[in-house]
Structure 1
Amino acid sequence: MQFKVLGPLEVVVADRAVTPQPAKIRSLLAMLCVKSGTVVSRECLIDALWAGDTPRTARTALQVYVSKLRKYLDLHGGLAGRLMTKPHGYVFELEPEQLDLREFDILSRWDGEAGTAGSPGEALDSLQAACLLWRGPALADLRGLPAFDKLARQLDEKRINVLERRFDMQLSLGQHKRIIGELYGLVDEYPMWESIHAQLMISLYRSGRVAESLEAYRRIRNTLVLELGLEPGDGIRGLHQSILGRDPALDEERKLSLAC
C-alpha cells in the first residue's frame, strides 16, 4: 500500500488506485500522511477537516472518521495498526517506501552526502529520482482548504529547493542542453522565480541561443515590473550584463553563484 501526496492525494495497492473518495476521509488521511511519524493533535485535525467552521460535535465526529479510516486501511492493506491513538492526537507510522514524501526527503538528503563524498553522478541520480516522485503541485486536490494551502506551499518549497540544486549540478556537469525543455516549463509555472530564469538563461547561452537567453531575462523583468513594480535582483541583472558582453566566464562548466 503506497500513499502519495506529491501531487493529488493518491493511494495505490498493486498498481491499482484505491484512494478514498469521501472528502473528510481524504482530508484526514492527507494530513496524517504529511505528518507521518509525528503526533497530530486533535485540534489540528479538526481544523483541517472543518476549516474553522467547527461543529460542537467535532471531537466525536473526528473519532468516527478515524474509525472509518482504520477500516479502510485494514481493508486495502492491513495497515489499521499503523494509525495509533496518542494522549493528544493520532500518529500514522509509515515506512519510507510507503510514502512518496518520506522517500523524497531521503533522496534529497542523500544527495548532500553523496556530493560530499565526491560522487557527483550518484548525487545527481539521487536528485533526479527525488524530482520524479512529483506528479504535480502537492496536495493538488485539497488546495483551497486553509490548512492544506499552507502545507502544500511548504511542500512546494521543498520541490523548488531540490530543482534548483539539481539544475545547478547539471550545469556544473555540462548538461545545459538537456535541461532547457524542463526549465522552459518551470518558468511558465513560476513566472517570478528568478533563479530558475537565471538557470534557463545560462543554459540557453551555453547552447549558442543568445537571443533566447536575453528574451528569458526580458520576460521575467517585464513580469516583475508589471506585477510588483520591482526590478530583478542584482544576481540575474549581473548575469544579463555578462550575456550582453559575452563574458568568457559564462562558458565555464561551474555551479552558478547568483544572489537571486
Structure 2
Amino acid sequence: MARGDTGCTPRPLKQRALLALLVSKNGQCLSVNELVHCLWDGAPPPTARAALQVYVSKLRKHLGETGCDGGSLSTSLPGYVLHLGENALDLRAFRQLTRGQGIAHPEDRTGLERESGDLQQALALWRGPALADLRDVTALRELGVVLDEAWMAATERKLEIDLLLGRELVALSELRRLALQFPEREKIQGLLMTALYRNGRAAEALAAYSGLRRTLVDRLGMDPGHRLNRLHHAILNRERWLEESKDGLFAPAL
C-alpha cells in the first residue's frame, strides 16, 4: 500500500484485507454493511460486526504507531473512511506516471525516451502481484485482476518503446521471460517475434509463433489473431517493413 518499505501494512490477514478495501475507495466512505459483506465474502458470522469494530480499532492503532504518511482512519456514518497523505500510495504514483502511456508518436524519439523513463519508474514500484495474499476476498481478487492488467499494459508498452528505439537486444531477455510466463499473451509473443527477427533470429521467431499457435489451439481452441498472423507472414517473407517501419512495429501495432 504505502510508498517504499515503511511498515504501514499490518501483518494480520483480516486487518490487511480491511486496509486494502478502504484504500481501494480512495478516501470515500465504506459502510459497515459493505465491509462485513466483503471481509466474509457474503457469509458473515453473527459476531462479524463486533469483530469488524476490533479490526478497525487495531488498524487505527497500527496507523498511529507507524505514522504511515499521516494516514488516519475515521468513523463516518454509515461506516469508515481512510485518509492518506498525497504521496502515500504506490498505486497513485503508478497511475500518475502511466497517464501519458501510449501518447508519444513512434517517430518522436524524445517523447518515447520520456515515456520510457516514466514507465520504468512506474514499474519499479511493483514488488510482486497486486494483493497477492488477499485474493481469497472476492472484491480484492477482482481489483487484483484489474491491477494485473494495468501492470501488463505498462510492461508491454515499455518493451514496445524499447523496440521502437532500436533496443531489441536489451528487451530480448525480458521478452523471453514474459513469453514463458504468459504463453497466451499475443502482444508479448508478437514483441518477442519482432525482437528475435531484428536480432537475426528469424527461425526462432517462427518457432515462437508455432509455439503460441499450439498453446492457443490446445487451451482455447482458437488460432492467433490477424495481427500475429500478419507478423508471421511478414517474417516468412522477410518483408522490408519489419526492419524499416517505426510506425507501430506490427503494421498495424498489436
Common fold, TM-score beyond 0.5? yes
Corresponding residue of 1:27? 17
Corresponding residue of 1:62? 52
Aligned match of 1:135 in 106, 124, 127?
127
**What is the alpha-carbon distance in structure 1 between the residues aligned to residue 71 and residue 158 of structure 2?**
38
**What is the alpha-carbon distance in structure 2 between the residues aligned to residue 131 and residue 29 of structure 1?**
23
Aligned match of 1:256 in 242, 245, 249?
249
Question: How many residues in Structure 1 have an aligned counterpart in Structure 2?
Answer: 249
Match of 2:248, as an amino acid? K
Match of 1:152, as an amino acid? G
TM-score with structure 1 setting the length: 0.86
Q: Please list the CA deviations of residues 106-154 of structure 1 after superposition, one character each: whole Å capped at 9, or x if unmatched.
A: 11014567x3796321111001111111122111111233222111101
What SS does the aligned partner of 1:144 have? coil
Corresponding residue of 1:8? none
Match of 1:202, as an amino acid? T
Corresponding residue of 1:109? 99
**What is the alpha-carbon distance in structure 2 between the residues aligned to residue 219 and residue 136 of structure 1?**
27
Q: Following TM superposition, by how much is the alpha carbon of 1:256 offset from its aligned partner in structure 2, in angstroms? A: 2.8
Indicate whether 1:43 and 2:42 are aligned: no
Between stretches 92-101 and 214-223, larger displacement belongs to: 92-101
Match of 2:92, as an amino acid? R
Segments of 5+ residues of structure 2 without an aligned counterpart are none
Task: Using the aligned pairs only, state the percent identity.
Answer: 43
Segments of 5+ residues of structure 1 without an aligned counterpart are 5-10
Contact 2:64 / 2:72 at 8 angstroms: preserved in 1? no
Aligned match of 1:12 in 5, 9, 15?
5
Q: Please list the CA deviations of residues 74-115 of structure 1 after superposition, one character each: whole Å capped at 9, or x if unmatched.
A: 0111667622322233222323532111111011014567x3
Q: Following TM superposition, by how much is the alpha carbon of 1:235 offset from its aligned partner in structure 2, in angstroms? A: 0.6
Please list, as runs of the form range in 1=range in 2, the aligned pairs for 1:1-260 lying within 5 A after superposition.
Answer: 3=2, 12-13=5-6, 17=7, 19-77=9-67, 82-111=72-101, 115=104, 119-252=111-244, 253-257=246-250, 258=252
What SS does the aligned partner of 1:195 have? helix
Q: Following TM superposition, by how much is the alpha carbon of 1:234 offset from its aligned partner in structure 2, in angstroms? A: 0.6
Structure with higher RCO (Cα < 8 A, 6+ apart) = 1
**What is the alpha-carbon distance in structure 1 between the residues aligned to residue 75 and residue 212 of structure 2?**
49
Q: Please list the CA deviations of residues 43-84 of structure 1 after superposition, one character each: whole Å capped at 9, or x if unmatched.
A: 332233212221233233222211110001101116676223
TM-score with structure 2 setting the length: 0.88
**What is the alpha-carbon distance in structure 1 between the residues aligned to residue 44 and residue 214 of structure 2?**
44
**What is the alpha-carbon distance in structure 2 between the residues aligned to residue 154 and residue 39 of structure 1?**
21
Contact 1:111 / 1:122 at 8 angstroms: preserved in 2? no
Match of 1:22, as an amino acid? P
Q: Note the aligned Cα RMSD (angstroms).
A: 2.4
